[in-house]
Amino acid sequence: MQRQYHAWHSPALNRTMELLIFGHAGAPVLVFPTSHGRFYEYEDRGMVAALGHHLEQGWIQLVCVDSVYSESWYNYSADADARMWREEQYEHYLITEVLPLVRHLNPNPFLMATGCSFGASEAVIFTLRHPGLVRRVIGLSGLYDLKRFFTNYTQGVYFHNPIDFVPNLNDPWTIDRLRETDIILVTGRDDPSAWSNELLSSQLWAKGIGNALRIWDGWYHDWPYWQRMIVQYIGGHD
């Protein structure tokens, strides 16, 4: 299996950012780490191995990015809008630096995004905020109401909190692009964040945006379960 390490000083973030790419061809998959994970977490936790057959066959190519969570979502000492501005810069890094690299290495236009736990939240937020960019998103055990991270509610928080901004989507172009996106939300029935998956799914359907909500019977918030989930849904919902 091909494995590539890349690092550079990001102009968007004014810091060095690292990532790993697995596979030689296929649909590129942006992989966001969990809350305190790094770009090498997906490999360390057995997720890359779980997708080994897909990678060896050239069906997918994993792009495991690093995060700035400690500077944004988890930077409790900073102002809410400053934290969300750091997220804006992070998205700019992904769009203007990471994706051009991916497209240079791999011409496949079918971009996917995924993540586990907080990585799922980030993958879904990125997809919903940039309609038409991601063709399939697979959120595994994500939380989609993130207001608990903040002591005050601001415009910046609103535009990064799916269950708040999705009900107010009204731009026809945005809604049409999201209708073309394969949105898959997977969680365990006993996961504390399951309710936010159900709510976001219903909000999307209310806008005519189809999505696949898959609730597994149990807790299912751990790596062995996520390995099974990603293998089942990487090719689309069942």
Mean pLDDT of 166-175: 98
Q: 190-227, pLDDT tens digit by residue?
A: 999 999 999 999 999 999 999 999 999 998 999 999 99
Residue 55 and residue 157: Cα distance in Å, rounded?
A: 36
What are residue 30's DSSP bridge partners?
Answer: 63, 113
Q: 13-69, pLDDT tens digit by residue?
A: 999 999 999 999 999 999 999 999 999 999 999 999 999 999 999 999 999 999 999
Residue 103 token pair: 């497209």
Q: Which fold has domain 3-234?
A: Rossmann fold (3.40.50)
Q: 145-162, pLDDT tens digit by residue?
A: 999 999 999 999 999 999
- Nearest Cα residue to 62 out of 6, 125, 10, 15: 6
R_g of the chain, CA atoms, integer Å: 17
Q: 68-92, pLDDT tens digit by residue?
A: 999 999 999 999 999 999 999 999 9
Residues in CB range of 140: below 8 A, 6 or more apart: 114, 115, 116, 117, 119, 120, 186, 187, 226, 229, 230
Tell me what pLDDT residue 235 has.
97
Where are the chain's structural domains? 3-234
Q: pLDDT class for 238, splitting at 50, 70, 90?
A: confident
Mean pLDDT of 178-196: 97
Tell me what pLDDT residue 99 has.
98
